[in-house]
A = this chain, B = another copy of it.
């Protein structure tokens, strides 16, 4: 590993550790446990939202917003809103009627630790929390920014975004999916929220429309590379590092990037997308180093 890569690693590890601590702290402040009968619900939300996950989405948002000197306390709130949507989607995806998973971030899934009804409601409550955060003036004093953040996150997570992608995924057993179909599915299921994270950083930074195009192209490529890398990790990875069950898609005969392109083809494609993503950042100097490091990390991570 060369000196340049070592320094990229340092940039990223520092940024990631900072964001992970900030996200936990922000969720902790947002979710005090009430003394009333619904305390159980808030405890379940805290179980899902605090102390787990890589926090890639808040990191993308913070890395983008910091390029435009956005106040960090405000931006981390928006980061928690994206993560809140991500957490709710994991809770609901893990339910017995969906992917029926037992393990998440190395802990029992929410419906195992609590129960199914609580899992549905904790997911729903984290979903609402995201929009409660974004519409609060603590996130931005500018109501236009608050409305734009809401519009961006709502459309990325709804029927034409994340939820639509998960629906396609549920139907994948019955369908003969081509590479085009899988790409579209993953763009909706994972890509939309990753892209929204970058976009929300730009919205907070009040970046004009023309300035957002390069960031959007970066986010699109990173999102797709992320999913291909996920399929590779699912194929090659170590369950103890992943903290969740692996090779379920393979077992069910579901099409993935690896099954359609082969492991080597998928690896080459992910690398090409990462290079392309970094290429979209040429207009920026070292202020975009964290975004560059995130792109590299995506194909190099082992969980």
| A256 CB within 8 Å of chain B | no
Task: Please give the count of copies of this chain that the complex contains.
Answer: 2
Q: Given the complex, which residues of B lie within 8 Å of A120, measured CB to CB? A: 92, 95, 97-98, 120
Q: Given the complex, which residues of B lie within 8 Å of A157, measured CB to CB? A: 128
Interface stretch of the complex, out of A40-48, A238-246, A268-276, A287-295: A40-48
Question: Do A170 and B128 have beta carbons less than 8 Å apart?
Answer: no
Per-residue contact bits, chain A 165-180, to B (CB 8 Å; 1 contact, 0 not): 1111011000100000
| A11 CB within 8 Å of chain B | no
| A181 CB within 8 Å of chain B | yes
Question: Do A37 and B175 have beta carbons less than 8 Å apart?
Answer: yes
Q: How far is the CB of A197 from chain B (nearest CB, A)?
A: 16
Per-residue contact bits, chain A 134-155, to B (CB 8 Å; 1 contact, 0 not): 1110000001101110110111
Q: Given the complex, which residues of B lie within 8 Å of A154, measured CB to CB? A: 128-132, 135
Q: How far is the CB of A100 from chain B (nearest CB, A)?
A: 10
| A118 CB within 8 Å of chain B | yes
Q: How far is the CB of A147 from chain B (nearest CB, A)?
A: 4
| Contacts known (A129-B159, A132-B151, A163-B121); A168 close to B95, Cβ less than 8 A | no
Which of A124, A127, A161, A175 has the most chain B CB within a 10 Å cutoff? A124
| A116 CB within 8 Å of chain B | yes
| A36 CB within 8 Å of chain B | yes
How many residues of A are counted as interface, with CB atoms below 8 angstroms from the partner's CB atoms? Answer: 62
Q: Give the residue of B45, B95, B134, B164 whose beta carbon is less than 8 angstroms from that of A125.
A: B164
Question: Do A132 and B155 have beta carbons less than 8 Å apart?
Answer: yes
Residues on A facing B (Cβ under 8 Å): 31, 34, 36-38, 40-42, 45, 88-89, 92, 95, 97-98, 115-121, 123-125, 127-132, 134-136, 143-144, 146-148, 150-151, 153-155, 157-161, 163-168, 170-171, 175, 181, 184-185, 188
A-B contacts, 23 of them at CB < 8 A, read A31-B159, A36-B164, A36-B168, A37-B171, A37-B185, A38-B164, A38-B188, A40-B167, A41-B159, A41-B163, A97-B116, A98-B117, A117-B170, A121-B167, A128-B154, A128-B157, A131-B154, A132-B151, A134-B150, A135-B154, A143-B148, A146-B147, A147-B147
